[in-house]
Amino acid sequence: MYAVVQSGCTGCGLCEQLCPALFTVRNGTAQAVPAELDEVVLPAAAAARDCCPLAAIDFLSD
């Protein structure tokens, strides 16, 4: 499973604050590191997804 940031992202930075291992904000948009979500990063990634004010973060299966 991987995280993706949809085009509606406004770059608020909340995801980067909640899960800096996976998300960065550059040029006004968040970007997700293209890495498998493992049991270490998944809780923080899920918090970032659930707290995104625009619901711009999704998890996709392989």
Q: What is the pLDDT of residue 45?
A: 97
Cβ-proximal residues to 12 (8 Å cutoff; 6+ apart), any chain: 53
What distance, in Å, lies between the first and last C-alpha atoms of the chain?
6
Question: What is the per-residue burial (b if ≥16 Cβ within 10 Å, else e) of 9-28?
Answer: bebeebbbebbeebbebeee
- The closest of 62, 7, 61 to 31, measured between CA atoms, is 7
Q: Output the pLDDT for position 62.
A: 75
> ∠ CA(8), CA(53), CA(4), 5° rounding?
50
pLDDT of the residue at 59? 97
pLDDT tens, the chain, 62 aa long:
999 999 999 999 999 999 999 999 999 999 999 999 999 999 999 999 999 999 999 999 97
pLDDT at position 54, please? Answer: 95
